[in-house]
Amino acid sequence: MIRALGSLLFIAFAVFLLSGCSEKNYFEPKRVDGTVEYDGELPAAIAETGYRSATLENGAFITDDGLHEERLPEGYRYIAGDGELIVAAADCKPNIIYDTKSKKSRSIALPRRVLAALFIPGSKKIAFLIEGNSYGIYDYEKDEIVVKYESDNALTADIRIASPMMLENLILVPTLDGKLVILDRKSGVRVREIIVGKGDDFNNVIFLDVVGDRLVAATPHRIISVSPKLMDALDMEISDILFVKEGIYILSKEGKVYRCDNELKILNSKKFPFAHFVGAVYGEYIYLIEREGFIIATDTELANARIFKIPERIESWFFAAKDTLYYDRYYFKLHKER
């Protein structure tokens, strides 16, 4: 199973759980088509999830490629990787680049904790976003900041913080205040700034990808699709987004799934009353993970859905990569036949 957005989904559980405490209604399907059991146990529980990764309590980590047994130094969390090199961060400790082969690390001379990063191909540099909403480019061979910019301070942020990405010779840096800043790869000069969302709270960019000839980005409250000449947008409360060949699927916090084209035109939708989605993956079907402990498998047209019960309610860290779902300290695979 391949999730077109990098197959990573990660959840701001505090936000979901607090918002759910006042709810009197819960997702209760009239028919359950089967059950899904755990396929195995992780070496440790998930300590934290990120945009495209999860870190376990023992320092091992999970990426799109699955579980990595190499362990980060104690207290550190995986931020970004390139082969054997990993950008890692921890509370009250310096940011580091860790070599999983040599087991050695070098400090990154940035003033705040790194929240998102990208190894810039063909260089010894990373693009970074740090606490306080500063961003820029850092040369880890010379141990110096190439460029650093300040954006508007953001008091709150969804834990799903999108990573910078490359687009030809440009670096796209999502910020905590709902912007997408475009930097020149070589000079680091700001080329353009795109406003993704304008919310006061939890307004950071949580999704970023290229779909066809469109650049698609979203905050928890708004999604935009940008071409060289046009920008389309939808305002809604967003739980998750899937980018697939058939289009863009938006999971709303009201329990509704919207199927859109890459210009955000809504083709159709499907309502699952009182559903609280905590993630989604795409494979043989679109799999929607619901907080009360269900997997909803629907076709790409949203015409037919089958519902399966998973062992327990989602109350802790949840992460998905390719054909495997990871929850707390367990995992299960989405086999074609159950």
> Would the pLDDT of 155 be above 80?
no
149-179 per-residue burial string, b: 16 or more CB within 10 A, e: under 16: eebeebeebbbbbbbbbeeeeebbbbbbbbb
pLDDT at residue 157, as a whole number: 76
> Would the pLDDT of 154 be above 80?
no
Q: What would the mean pLDDT of 17-24 be, rounded to a whole number? A: 47
Question: Is residue 216 one of the residues assigned to a domain?
Answer: no
For 59-79, how does the pLDDT look when each residue is reduced to its tens digit (9 = 90+)?
Answer: 999 998 899 999 999 999 999
Question: Is residue 41 one of the residues assigned to a domain?
Answer: yes
> Would the pLDDT of 148 be above 50?
yes
Say if CB 197 and CB 219 are below 8 A apart: yes
Question: Is residue 163 one of the residues assigned to a domain?
Answer: no
Highest mean pLDDT among 107-116, 210-219, 326-335: 107-116
pLDDT at residue 246, as a whole number: 67
Question: Is residue 46 one of the residues assigned to a domain?
Answer: yes
Instruction: Tell me the CATH number at 275.
Output: 2.40.128
The total number of structural domains that make up the chain: 1
What tokens does 218 get?
A: 């979203």
Say if CB 107 and CB 155 are below 8 A apart: no
Question: Is residue 267 one of the residues assigned to a domain?
Answer: yes
Strand order in the sheet with 114-119: 114-119, 125-130, 134-139, 144-150
Which residue segment(s) compose the domain that 244 sits in?
1-51+239-338
> Would the pLDDT of 48 be above 60?
yes
For 221-262, how does the pLDDT look when each residue is reduced to its tens digit (9 = 90+)?
Answer: 999 999 988 999 999 999 999 988 768 999 999 999 999 999
Confidence class for position 213, pLDDT limits 50, 70, 90? confident
Q: What's phi and psi for 19, nearest 5 deg?
A: -70, -25
H-assigned helices in the chain: 13-20
Q: What is the DSSP letter of 200?
A: S
What tokens does 94 get?
A: 């310096």
> pTM value?
0.88
Strands 305-309 and 34-35, bridge-based pairing: parallel
Say if CB 320 and CB 49 are below 8 A apart: no
Question: Is residue 172 one of the residues assigned to a domain?
Answer: no
Question: Is residue 141 one of the residues assigned to a domain?
Answer: no
Looking at every residue in the chain, the average pLDDT score rounds to 89
Q: What is the DSSP letter of 14?
A: H
Confidence class for position 29, pLDDT limits 50, 70, 90? very high
Question: Is residue 269 one of the residues assigned to a domain?
Answer: yes
